[in-house]
Amino acid sequence: MMRFSINSLLAVVFILIGGTINLISSSSVRIVATIYPVYVVAKEIGQSVCEVENLMPSGASPHDYQIKPNDLAMIQRASVVFLCGLGLDDWCEKVIKKSGDSAKIRCVVVSKGLQQFLIYDKKADNTEMQNSPNPHFWLDPVLMKYVATNIAETIKEIAPDKKDKVDENLKNFSAKMDALDKFIKDELSGVEKRPVICLHNAFAYFGRRYGIEIAGTIQEVPDFPASPRHLSNLTAIARQKKVSVIFGEKGGSNEVAKRLAEDLKLPFAVLDHLESDDPSGADYIERMKRNVEVIKKFIK
């Protein structure tokens, strides 16, 4: 029979206790992100510091998501809930208020401080959309660094003992975004960037950053069909501006976009708006690079 000395036993007990303490410490900070792009940043900044969960399931649209009972349970367990803001995930705040737990649940809008960079769709025929900021900042990797800073500040507040690790994570993430920004600029430099038409106005920030004109969008309001009048105007714009391609979206309702491309005798291609996660497991950077390859192919 194997025998242990008192010192050996104490050492084992110390290791077990220490492991338990570490487990409690690392799992005590729980973060919920409402949508995938916010989850991407929170997971990177909270790496080795906290547990991060994505509220919205794969394939769901943040524009009309309906919270389920198990979603509310996830929110109630969280130390903080990170919201995109800009009207995209109001559904989460409304449910929290109705639940009566709003005083207990801390919500942080990660787009805070982006006001000077926001795009407003002033060309939309729909008057309601004219005063609404475009929430798709995540398709601009430079703006993702601002969001990362907001998330880092909050995590450091709730886990002050992990400040150095959070700062390290923020530095690494910012470097990744700088590299991605450079990659996109290099890939699209020297390419004749003819105007494009997209399914909905998800790529406004990407277009502004990299010099691609979004001549129009098929859906004035995401997930709602376009009016005949709007499509007629869009057809005229496409011909006038010599649009190069009609872009549909991964997981989107692309029938009208395909039909418009056929009528105009233009190519049709699909972009990834990154509003939800990819079932294949591809990460944010990989998906952004895939979009670049598609855009590069069709804007000539």
Each residue's pLDDT tens digit, 100-125: 777 788 999 999 999 999 999 765 45
* Angstrom distance (rounded) from CA 104 to CA 19: 30
Contact 294, 269 (CB under 8 A): yes
Looking at residue 122, its pLDDT comes to 62
Residue ranges of domains in the chain, CATH in brackets:
27-182 (3.40.50.1980), 189-298 (3.40.50.1980)
Angle at 103 between CA 101 and CA 108, to 5 degrees: 100
**Residue that is written with structure tokens 């699209």 in the block:** 188
Rg of the Cα trace of the chain? Answer: 23
Cα separation, 117 vs 227, whole angstroms = 30
Q: Is 3 helix (H, G, I), strand (E, B) or coil?
A: coil
Q: Which residue bears the tokens 């703006």? A: 143
Ordered DSSP codes for 221-265: STTSPPPHHHHHHHHHHHHHHT--EEEEETTS--HHHHHHHHHHT
Per-residue pLDDT of the chain (300 residues; tens, 9 = 90+): 444 344 443 343 333 434 433 333 445 899 999 999 999 999 999 999 999 999 998 888 888 888 888 898 999 999 999 999 999 999 998 888 888 777 788 999 999 999 999 999 765 455 544 578 999 999 999 999 999 999 999 999 999 999 999 999 999 999 999 999 999 999 999 898 999 999 999 999 999 999 999 999 999 887 778 899 999 999 999 999 999 999 999 988 899 999 999 999 999 999 999 999 988 889 999 999 999 999 999 998
**Long-range Cβ contacts of 126-134 (<8 Å, 24+ apart):** 126/220, 126/221, 128/221, 129/220, 129/221, 132/87, 133/86, 133/87, 134/86, 134/201, 134/204, 134/205
* pLDDT attached to residue 17: 38
CB atoms within 10 A of CB 191: 15
Give CA–CA dist 42/184, Å, rounded: 23
pTM across the whole model: 0.86
Report the distance separating Cα 177 and Cα 190, nearest Å: 22
Q: For residues 29 and 50, give the distance between their C-alpha atoms in angstroms, rounded to a whole number.
A: 5
Tokens 């290099």 identify what position? Answer: 186
Asked if 218 and 198 count as a contact pair (C-beta separation under 8 A), the reply is yes
Note the pLDDT of residue 13. Answer: 36
